[in-house]
Chain A
Amino acid sequence: MAQELFSPSTLIFSAALLAAVSGVPLLFPRLLSAARAQLLSVAAMLAASCAGLAGAIATLISREVSLFELAWGVPFGPARFGVDPLTAWFLLPIFLIPGCAALYARSYWHADHYPANVRKMTLFFGLMTASMGGVVLARDGISFLYCWEIMALSAYFLVSTEDEKPEVNEAGTLYMMTTHTGTLGLFALFPLLHLLTGSWLFPAPASLNASSGLSAAVFLTALFAFGLKAGIMPLHIWLPSAHANAPSHVSAAMSGVILKVGVYGLIRTLSFFHGIPLWWGCVVLALGVVSGVVGVAFAIGQHDLKRLLAYHSIENIGIIFMGVGVALIGQIVGSATMMVLGMSGALLHVLNHAIFKALLFLGAGSVIHATGTREIDLMGGVARRLPYTSLLFGVGAVAICGLPPLNGFVSELFIYLGFFRAVQAEGGAAAAATLAAPALALIGGLAVACFVKVFGIVFLGAPRSEAHVARHESGWQMLLPMLLLGGLCVAIGLAPGVVAGLLEQTSLTVLPKLAGTGLPMRELVPLTMISIAGGLLLVMIALLTLWYRRRLAGAPCSETVTWGCGYQRPAVRMQYSASSFAEMLVSLFAFVLKPHSHRPDNIAGLFPGRSRFTSHVPEAVLELLYIPALLRLYHRSSGIRKLQSGILQQYVLYTLVTLIVLLCASYF
């Protein structure tokens, strides 16, 4: 009995249920004060996180696969849920990030400071966590859709937490429209699968032949629906505004986890098929490359700290898609190495991105909390007031750039190695995949440029605006989750061997073809070398810092403004701004970014008068592609819209007319 009680799947399911009800204490304001109830719900979320993580890790170690049926009275038969290594792998971020974010919210979104919306926020945060768990646990299309919708709707309420602000409302509406377009895609996807298999149950891995036209339709709808949720490049339009306008810990959970649920959906769908045609792999790889490069290019042009991080999410989803693409192409050309490296790289990057992006969003939240603005150009010198936050943000920034010795480097190395193996594989198609390697390198380089900008402008230098000087370091509830996430970045970066074994098992679930090949991960990737090199690098950095400190202690020094550019009397306004730092890169990518800049025109003579300069990188895909197209559609379809008059009685009349027509049809 005790064993039954603590079996991994029981732990996971009870964790999801606990998370779902974690917001309930706040619903009884007469029994409990909001602050106490919030404490209770944070405790519930933490307990759920611990239980869920324990269950997921135990499943990954024991490689257990189990299936449960929940008999209930809805159509389409019983609901089926199951646990397998792939599910368990995605459960890691699903339980880790919201747990950290919930603790963070205790200080960041304290009930006493936000009495108007803390109830809504806490309730839907728990529901979102639980439903994300439900999505990865579901084993039939209908339960999947139920959980998916709960997830999408709770995320909507979280995005529009501060719905009294017009821009938040707008972001929420955009999110709602896009997420439901994605759901529409799922409504098409599952019936298509039903046509293929004759059942709502998910088919066994590699049980469907991918060569038929129906399979291609399944692939394309899955790519559309899940790509929309994951934020792949032409479908990413909801992501920047939603991430920017949600509370920071919600952005952390959304960017860290919800996007990954989209990735999960795609990987799960792909795992049903065998004999995948080449173009599937190429499409996924190409989408990955486009998202990666264009995502990071957009990020460089942003002035809003959270929008910038949101575009980096698009970039990282691109990297994950590149990994999946490598694995698919490997499957086609029969290269087990490419399959293992691509898939484990993608899966590891899923976890890594969840960790460091959540860390960055939480860090950004602390900065915004302290300065009271999201505008990078109004910040500056934050590192002096928030030393711990800036250190942890720095860790996240190094990790997201894919630099050693942190975790981002490891997963990107996997994907790089996958590309390099493609050269050796047979077939020109595989070799062509190596062309994506420079793209990955470009993404890495641009990411470094972008985070140098963020760190340099926000944390270094002198405060740029009196009103937004950072005031105080955040409380321990905000620092502890960040410390945990930063620690994980370092741990995975220094000891990738620990996760490699778990990854191998997960990749096997997705690609059962691999089972016979027996390719151990440590023969493909120099895991020990990574650990040793990473350790050496850290020791070297420490030694250099010590040496530098000692040298500096003896030297005479004077204080001046950072970014002072060697002027005689530097002023705060002379510092680099986010726009000036990014100007060159933005103009290089101007053909996609379409930046607006308003240049000053009255600068002439030796002492020109006052002038202004503004620059702005809009969401070009949304503003130049979707909105004009939708407007055209709107005008074209004015005739059809008369059917929707808004008169209640007319709608009932439609039902009545249908009924009468049916009656008459049966009569004659």
Chain B
Amino acid sequence: MITLADQLLVLVLLINFISLGTSRLMFSIRAVAAQGVILGILPGLIHPFSWHLVAITVVILAVKGVIIPMMLGRAVRSAEIKREVEPFLGYVPTLLLGAVFTALSFGFAGRLPMLAEHQNYMFVPASIATLMTGFLVLTTRRKAISQVIGYLVLDNGIFIFGLLLTEAMPVMVEAGALLDLLVGTFVMGIVINQISREFSSLDTSLLTSLKEE
């Protein structure tokens, strides 16, 4: 089971690169949704069966796999924007940076003082790499929808780290984190609509006009 989990984590890392390398927003949204679905399956693979686990899996699949992508898809359609044009940093440099960060995170994870049973998993490096990817997307893209995608990837990274703790984590905390994400995306959806109506563009760098001189 553990090997399967590790293979799935490799998939997660690959999806990170998709979200870094593609300019098409719908594709990116679907990739992140797939990442969410994989993460939803993972707890079932590494922990023994319990109803608690089933509940978590179902909720995660519903939220990350269905609801959030649907909301984002609607936002993309209503804003009529298909591509991320002119990011702050080009796609190739971001991909390279992503690769560097992934390598660094593997190196870093090896040095962390971890429990013996967690030592050989890919969870921690995958988590840090995904986190970094999220940050990269957040810092390099202009469009508000890309920002949401970066935020989702970031959250996925945190979630992978939490996988190690699933059994120790109370339901309330998990439910709270998921709700947080859902509400966050919801709010961003509204913000996106507002930005596109106000500036007739989804370029968040235009938000600088809100800053007082």
Complex partner residue of A652 from B107, B139, B210, CB under 8 angstroms: B139
Which residue of chain A is the closest to B172 with respect to CB atoms? A73
B contact residues around A424 at 8 Å (CB): none
Cβ of B186 within 8 Å of any chain A Cβ, yes or no, is no
Complex partner residue of A666 from B111, B132, B207, B208, CB under 8 angstroms: B111
B205 → chain A closest CB, angstroms: 6
Cβ of B108 within 8 Å of any chain A Cβ, yes or no, is yes
Cβ of B161 within 8 Å of any chain A Cβ, yes or no, is no
B contact residues around A666 at 8 Å (CB): 108, 111
Which residue of chain A is the closest to B135 with respect to CB atoms? A656
Which residue of chain A is the closest to B138 with respect to CB atoms? A652
Complex partner residue of B138 from A645, A649, A663, CB under 8 angstroms: A649
B contact residues around A656 at 8 Å (CB): 132, 135-136, 138-139
Which residues of B173-200 have CB atoms within 8 Å of chain A's CB atoms? none
Which residue of chain B is the closest to A652 with respect to CB atoms? B138
A contact residues around B135 at 8 Å (CB): 652, 655-656, 659
Cβ of B103 within 8 Å of any chain A Cβ, yes or no, is no
Interface 1/0 per residue, A644-656 and B, CB below 8 Å? 1111111011011
A contact residues around B210 at 8 Å (CB): 646
Cβ of B211 within 8 Å of any chain A Cβ, yes or no, is yes
Is A649's CB under 8 angstroms from B108's CB? no
Is B147's CB under 8 angstroms from A663's CB? no
Cβ of A613 within 8 Å of any chain B Cβ, yes or no, is no
- Distance between Cα atoms of A648 and B203 in the complex (Å): 11
Which residues of A616-668 have CB atoms within 8 Å of chain B's CB atoms? 644-650, 652-653, 655-656, 659, 663, 666-667
Is A648's CB under 8 angstroms from B207's CB? yes
Which residue of chain A is the closest to B88 with respect to CB atoms? A649
Interface bracket on B: 20 to 34
Interface 1/0 per residue, B98-138 and A, CB below 8 Å? 00000010011001000000000000000010001001101
Is A647's CB under 8 angstroms from B205's CB? yes
B contact residues around A667 at 8 Å (CB): 107-108, 111
Interface 1/0 per residue, A301-339 and B, CB below 8 Å? 000000000000000000000000000000000000000
- Distance between Cα atoms of A650 and B147 in the complex (Å): 12
B139 → chain A closest CB, angstroms: 4
A293 → chain B closest CB, angstroms: 38
Is B205's CB under 8 angstroms from A649's CB? yes
B contact residues around A659 at 8 Å (CB): 132, 135
- Distance between Cα atoms of A646 and B209 in the complex (Å): 8
Is A663's CB under 8 angstroms from B108's CB? yes
Which residues of A42-74 have CB atoms within 8 Å of chain B's CB atoms? none
B contact residues around A645 at 8 Å (CB): 208, 211
B145 → chain A closest CB, angstroms: 13
A647 and B208 in contact (CB under 8 A), knowing A663-B108, A667-B111? yes
Which residue of chain B is the closest to A73 with respect to CB atoms? B172
A contact residues around B132 at 8 Å (CB): 656, 659
B contact residues around A653 at 8 Å (CB): 139
**A/B pair count, beta carbons within 8 Å:** 44
Cβ of B204 within 8 Å of any chain A Cβ, yes or no, is yes
B192 → chain A closest CB, angstroms: 13
A500 → chain B closest CB, angstroms: 53
B contact residues around A646 at 8 Å (CB): 207-211
Which residue of chain A is the closest to B210 with respect to CB atoms? A646
Cβ of B140 within 8 Å of any chain A Cβ, yes or no, is yes
- Distance between Cα atoms of A334 and B184 in the complex (Å): 61
- Distance between Cα atoms of A63 and B206 in the complex (Å): 61
Which residue of chain A is the closest to B212 with respect to CB atoms? A646
- Distance between Cα atoms of A433 and B108 in the complex (Å): 67
Is A649's CB under 8 angstroms from B104's CB? no
Complex partner residue of B140 from A644, A649, A655, A663, CB under 8 angstroms: A649
Cβ of B64 within 8 Å of any chain A Cβ, yes or no, is no
B35 → chain A closest CB, angstroms: 20
- Distance between Cα atoms of A649 and B140 in the complex (Å): 7
B176 → chain A closest CB, angstroms: 10
- Distance between Cα atoms of A647 and B138 in the complex (Å): 11
B contact residues around A650 at 8 Å (CB): 139
B81 → chain A closest CB, angstroms: 17
Which residue of chain B is the closest to A648 with respect to CB atoms? B204
A467 → chain B closest CB, angstroms: 37
Which residues of A131-169 have CB atoms within 8 Å of chain B's CB atoms? none
Which residues of B126-174 have CB atoms within 8 Å of chain A's CB atoms? 128, 132, 135-136, 138-142, 147
Is A649's CB under 8 angstroms from B208's CB? no
A contact residues around B88 at 8 Å (CB): 649
B46 → chain A closest CB, angstroms: 25
Which residue of chain B is the closest to A649 with respect to CB atoms? B139
A353 → chain B closest CB, angstroms: 37
- Distance between Cα atoms of A656 and B128 in the complex (Å): 12
- Distance between Cα atoms of A378 and B208 in the complex (Å): 45
Is B107's CB under 8 angstroms from A649's CB? no
B200 → chain A closest CB, angstroms: 19
A contact residues around B138 at 8 Å (CB): 649, 652, 656
B contact residues around A649 at 8 Å (CB): 88, 138-142, 204-205
Highest count of chain B CB atoms <10 Å: which of A644, A647, A649, A655: A649
B100 → chain A closest CB, angstroms: 10
Is B211's CB under 8 angstroms from A648's CB? no
A contact residues around B147 at 8 Å (CB): 648
A contact residues around B108 at 8 Å (CB): 663, 666-667
- Distance between Cα atoms of A647 and B206 in the complex (Å): 8
Which residue of chain A is the closest to B111 with respect to CB atoms? A667
Which residue of chain A is the closest to B89 with respect to CB atoms? A649
Which residue of chain A is the closest to B110 with respect to CB atoms? A667
A557 → chain B closest CB, angstroms: 63
- Distance between Cα atoms of A206 and B208 in the complex (Å): 52
A475 → chain B closest CB, angstroms: 42
- Distance between Cα atoms of A333 and B104 in the complex (Å): 68
- Distance between Cα atoms of A644 and B132 in the complex (Å): 23
A contact residues around B205 at 8 Å (CB): 647-649
B80 → chain A closest CB, angstroms: 22
Which residue of chain B is the closest to A656 with respect to CB atoms? B135
B152 → chain A closest CB, angstroms: 14
Which residue of chain A is the closest to B105 with respect to CB atoms? A663
- Distance between Cα atoms of A600 and B71 in the complex (Å): 68
A471 → chain B closest CB, angstroms: 42
A663 and B141 in contact (CB under 8 A), knowing A647-B205, A648-B147, A649-B205? no
Task: List the 9 closest pairs (A to B, CB-CB), nearest first.
Answer: A646-B211, A646-B208, A656-B135, A652-B138, A653-B139, A649-B139, A652-B139, A648-B204, A663-B108
29 residue pairs bridging A and B, Cβ less than 8 Å apart: A644-B211, A645-B208, A645-B211, A646-B209, A646-B210, A647-B205, A647-B208, A648-B204, A648-B205, A648-B207, A649-B88, A649-B138, A649-B139, A649-B140, A649-B141, A649-B142, A649-B204, A649-B205, A650-B139, A652-B138, A652-B139, A653-B139, A656-B132, A656-B135, A656-B139, A663-B108, A663-B128, A667-B107, A667-B108
Q: What 15 new A-B contacts, CB under 8 Å, besides A645-B211, A646-B208, A646-B209? A: A644-B211, A645-B208, A646-B207, A647-B205, A647-B207, A647-B208, A648-B147, A648-B205, A649-B142, A652-B135, A652-B138, A652-B139, A655-B135, A663-B108, A663-B128
B interface vs A, CB < 8 Å?
88, 104, 107-108, 111, 128, 132, 135-136, 138-142, 147, 204-205, 207-211
